[in-house]
Chain A
């Protein structure tokens, strides 16, 4: 009889690290499966297949990187890979990419994520940065132009919100979100954004499952998502936006997906519960600050990466005895949390919606033109600003055309479109802009644009209706561009929308 010696204890719980990773992996696959089904059903088999192939590409790259690395280091490849858990990273990278991300971008980002984000640190358990966030940041940073145009699905909610200055006043919220349905359809994932981040319902169910199985703690996701909500609510209220805006901020972008699958990465977040709560509040605050103030449309990934850098410091802050130092830890969380939230709200005071920006622009040019006669603006000088491509997404203007007459290749369309007043739901007496657009069906170019009815701000928007302003449309096709009229950008877009609608209708050969 052999009596083995082993220091106490000699009893272990069943739950193992592989079991935890398996659960997380299953949840990620469920989200991936939803994406496959959604894209297949709404956009067709090609799109659905693309999700599957992107997933496979990432997974194979991850496993290959592991295998090559450990082979080169002359370690037992199978044993090392069994405890490396790289497929989790691969799945996350796919789910935070877009459907039109190029295959090579996903592959390279996965390889970089696994190699530089994990293996060189010493493998699983030793990395500082969330490998998937690290890899995705590489895609965004370096392969921004690599999108496959065949698979375009429109702007993501965060990109659209960015165009709006990340502040959508209550009155304009309805028309803004109509692009994506409403908050309900967003919650159910009936729109496109990054591949995995749309179905909030599914992701939250995964969160409940993982917490119930004791795979993750509930504090991190709740405090991350909750803080984003509360901070967005307060910032919104400061600018006349309400609950809808706050809910949109949580549903748009990677807040819920990142909150459930990336902030809960135990390796890169603090070890203690108060540390995690403070980390989550910090990450939420950075998410909103990056959204509001930087060039990026969504702040989740970089917020996570920045907080990853602070994890060792936060760990040190909460070293001690949880019973004896309980009061100290509570105090640290409170002070740290309040500082983060205060900073975010401070930054939030300077957030301006696009409408507010435009209004302050027009207010500046209004006094100059008040002296001029307030007729249809034919005598006003137009000064031109930024370029506006004729292929621009004028969805908001809801332009429509009716065939007015046809002489050979010359086709006349009576068009109408929403302008400043109706797009932004502004207070006042606004109506649709109406114009007669004449196009040459053979060359695909505009012959002339004439205003029939002007429905925007008198004395302001009509700068875009001057002869010079309308003349810029002559000879322009869908591939060309015009210029925005300074101080009358909304009206310019409204007219351009009508011209675009006319050109498109003519190109499709019809009415």
Chain B
């Protein structure tokens, strides 16, 4: 009954016009690249050592875990300098493979091309695993793991929504590589064993919708337009919008499997051209960078190089965010590198905020996509009221930032929920 619940979503000003229709800049390659050996929970041991020559596409890391299995490949040709510890965009230190670029771009084909239509499901699955495909929507989850034992899947969903403000990387990538997107999408559809699929895109992206129709009309994948709201690109909200179903832990409970559109494009490239993920579409945007635009950068490029190529910083005090402003993290320096799971650098000029007391307006509660009650969570956390916190299902919070966005008193509502989560884990 929508009398008793809020919309659990909200239209944000997406600021997409800053970058959506500008030319994509291919970054002049940096002299030094630092390829992260750890992508989220997928760690690799290097397969090359100091002094080795490497070529584009050559495997340089072998995964150390059977589940978190994402092999990594060199994005440039050059010489391995060694392994260095640097801070990652997860704000944790991690090992990086330092490669000195020889700018020759000598290539090697990483793996054999594959015709997904002719291959068996097992062959296709093995291909996805060995090609280092990971969730390029930002999570970096090993793609093959979603498809090991699909059961009762009746809908395969491609997420081309990109609801995070400022980011247009998926959009630019899709417009430029529509054929590869089709290839990868149909391959994943086959892996999912679903009878049909939907590619979800925001209804205001008229040109992309046209492109999608051209690619997918006549295939089992149909184009599904979704409203321009946040967080339409979140798995749970998207599945609810497309199917009306809610699930507990995995989308498979609702009969769905979901992958990001850039992941499809990467897979398409691997199948058709035998090449792994070496470069990323990245949106550099915000009022803190001189020339906002989409860029194509090799994995391992330091953020400082990217900003330099986009005209440098504006202002003296900025928030350098890895990702978009809603869910991206501010990083206290620009020395971190672009990894396979990064989609954007949002640079915002830092302004002081004037916040007043909570007026219990309930907007946070009405817009929370998980159906939580952030104002009650904040109150209970301040009072250290464990019993109430237990009732408020705080672990369902994905820290999407909607509560802080909508709060008219300009409070740090999301941070209060984070504190509550930390407090709960401590007390338990």
Q: Is B360 in contact with A125, judged by CB distance below 8 angstroms?
A: yes
Q: From A4, which residue of chain B is reached at the shortest CB distance?
A: B350
The one of A12, A13, A126 that contacts B357, using a Cβ cutoff of 8 Å = A126
Q: Which residues of B contact A19 (CB under 8 A)?
A: 408
State how many angstroms separate the Cβ of B261 from the closest Cβ of chain A: 23
User: What distance in Å separates the Cβ of A313 from its nearest Cβ neighbour in chain B?
Assistant: 13
**Most chain B CB within a 10 A radius of its CB, from A11, A123, A315:** A11
Query: CA of A6 to CA of B418 in the docked complex: distance in angstroms?
Result: 13
Asked if residues B393 and A324 are in contact (CB atoms below 8 Å), the reply is yes
Contact: A15 with B316, CB < 8 Å?
Answer: no
Q: Contact between A322 and B362 (Cβ–Cβ < 8 Å)?
A: no
- Among residues of B, the one whose C-beta sits closest to the C-beta of A219 is B3
Asked whether B143 is an interface residue with its Cβ less than 8 Å from the other chain, the reply is: no
Partner of A9, one of B317, B356, B370, B401: B401
How far does the alpha carbon of A5 sit from the alpha carbon of B396 in the complex, in Å? 25
Which residues 207-264 of B have a CB within 8 angstroms of A? Answer: 246
Contact B356 A13 (CB under 8 A): no
Instruction: Tell me if B290 is interfacial: C-beta within 8 Å of chain A.
Output: no
Most A CB within 10 A of own CB, among B4, B165, B330, B361: B4
Answer whether A124 and B357 are a contact pair too, CB < 8 Å, given A7-B414, A271-B373, A321-B370. yes
CB contact between A10 and one of B321, B363, B371 (< 8 Å): that residue: B321
Knowing A10-B321, A321-B372, the reply to whether A5 touches B356 (Cβ < 8 A) is no
Q: Taking the complex as formed, is B391 at the interface, i.e. its CB lies under 8 A from any CB of chain A?
A: yes
Asked if residues B320 and A3 are in contact (CB atoms below 8 Å), the reply is yes
Instruction: Give the residues in chain A near B81, CB-CB below 8 Å.
Output: none
In the complex, whether B153 has a CB less than 8 A from a CB of chain A is no
What's the least CB distance linking A500 to chain B, in Å? 54
B5-13, B58-66, B181-189: which one contacts chain A?
B5-13
Question: Known interface pairs A6-B330, A17-B409, A322-B371. Does A272 touch B401 (Cβ–Cβ under 8 Å)?
Answer: no
A8 at the B interface (CB under 8 A):
yes
Q: Is the CB of B362 within 8 A of A323?
A: no
- B88: shortest Cβ distance to chain A, in Å? 15
Query: CB-CB < 8 A to A72: which residues of B?
Result: none
Q: A8-B328, A273-B6 are in contact. Are A319 and B376 (CB under 8 A)?
A: yes
Contact of B370 among A267, A323, A333 (CB under 8 A): A323
Tell whether A277 is near chain B: CB-to-CB under 8 Å. Answer: yes
Which residues of chain A come closer than 8 Å to B408, judged between CB atoms? 13, 15-17, 19-20
Bound: A214/B51 CA distance, A: 63
Q: Cα distance A1–B332 when bound, in Å?
A: 10
Interface hits, B313-337 → A, CB 8 Å: 313, 316-321, 325-334
Judged by a CB distance under 8 angstroms, whether B359 is at the interface is yes
Verify A125–B410 contact, CB threshold 8 A. Answer: no
Given the complex of chains A and B, what is the CA–CA distance between A249 and B175 in angstroms?
62
Q: Which residues of B contact A15 (CB under 8 A)?
A: 408
With A17-B408, A326-B5, A330-B1 as contacts: A319 and B165 at CB distance below 8 Å: no
Q: Hey, which chain A residues are within 8 Å of B376, CB to CB?
A: 271, 315, 319
Q: Tell me if B270 counts as interface (CB < 8 A to partner A).
A: no
User: Closest CB of chain A to B202's CB: distance in Å?
Assistant: 18
Interface membership of A348, Cβ < 8 A: no
- Residue of B358, B392, B405, B412 near A320 (CB, 8 A) is B392
Write the nearest CB–CB distance from A343 to chain B, whole angstroms. Answer: 22
Q: What number of A-B contacts does a CB cutoff of 8 Å give?
A: 173
Interface: A481 (CB within 8 A): no
How far apart are the CA atoms of A319 and B393 in the complex, in Å? 10
Give Cα A271–Cα B413 distance, bound, in whole angstroms: 15
B340-381 vs A, CB cutoff 8 Å, 1 = contact: the mask equals: 000000001010010011111111011010111101100000
Q: Does B393 lie within 8 Å of A272, measured CB to CB?
A: no
Q: Is the CB of A273 within 8 A of B366?
A: yes
A272 contact set on B, CB distance < 8 A: 362, 365, 373
User: A125–B359 contact, CB under 8 A?
Assistant: yes
Closest residue of chain A to B166 (Cβ to Cβ) is: A11
Residues in A neighbouring B400, C-beta threshold 8 A: 9
B203 interface contact, C-beta 8 A: no
Say yes or no for A266: interface residue by CB 8 A criterion: yes
A329 to B371, CA, bound (A): 13
Given contacts A272-B362, A273-B362, A277-B3, is CB(A8)–CB(B391) below 8 Å?
no
The 8 Å CB contact of A125, one of B332, B357, B373, is B357
Q: Are B325 and A9 in contact (CB under 8 A)?
A: yes
Tell me if B161 is interfacial: C-beta within 8 Å of chain A: no
**A273–B404 CA distance with the chains assembled, in angstroms:** 19
The answer for the CA separation of A398 and B367 in the assembled complex, in Å, is: 59
Say whether A274 faces chain B, with CB atoms less than 8 Å apart.
yes
Within the complex, the shortest CB–CB distance from B162 to chain A, in Å, comes to 15
With a cutoff of 8 Å between Cβ atoms, the chain B residues found around residue A324 in the complex are 371, 393
Distance A510 CA – B304 CA, assembled complex (angstroms): 100
Q: In the complex, which of the residues B12, B357, B412 has the most CB atoms of chain A within 10 Å of its own CB atom?
A: B357
Q: Is B178 an interface residue (CB 8 A)?
A: no
Task: Let me know if B200 is at the binding interface, CB within 8 A.
Answer: no
Whether B388 sits at the interface, judged by CB under 8 Å, is yes
Specify the chain B residue showing the minimal Cβ separation from A80: B356
- Tell me, yes or no, whether A294 is within 8 Å of chain B by CB: no
- In-complex Cβ contact of A8 among B10, B326, B370, B372 (8 A): B326
How distant is B422 from chain A, measured CB to nearest CB, in Å? Answer: 12
A2 contacts the other chain (CB 8 A) = yes
Determine the residue in chain A with the shortest Cβ distance to B246.
A323
B366 to chain A, nearest CB (A): 7
Residue A217 at the chain B interface, CB threshold 8 Å: yes
Nearest B residue to A333, CB-CB: B4
Say yes or no: A3 contacts B365, CB within 8 Å.
Answer: no
Q: Closest residue of chain B to A11, judged by CB?
A: B325
Q: For residue A319, give the distance in angstroms from its CB to the closest CB of chain B.
A: 5
Is A83 close to B, CB under 8 A?
A: yes
Asked whether B406 is an interface residue with its Cβ less than 8 Å from the other chain, the reply is: yes
**Which residue of chain A has the shortest Cβ distance to B367 in the bound complex?**
A13
Interface of chain A residues 1 through 42 with chain B (CB within 8 A): 1-13, 15-20
**A274 adjacent to B4 (CB under 8 Å):** yes
Q: How far is the CA of A9 from the CA of B350 in the complex (A)?
A: 13
Q: A: which residues have CB within 8 A of B?
A: 1-13, 15-20, 83, 123-126, 214, 217, 219, 266-267, 269, 271-274, 276-277, 315-316, 319-324, 326, 329-330, 333
Q: Could you give 8 example pairs across A and B, Cβ below 8 Å?
A: A8-B325, A8-B414, A9-B326, A12-B405, A16-B409, A20-B408, A266-B360, A326-B1
Other A-B pairs, 4, CB within 8 Å; known A9-B414, A320-B392: A7-B329, A13-B12, A18-B356, A319-B392
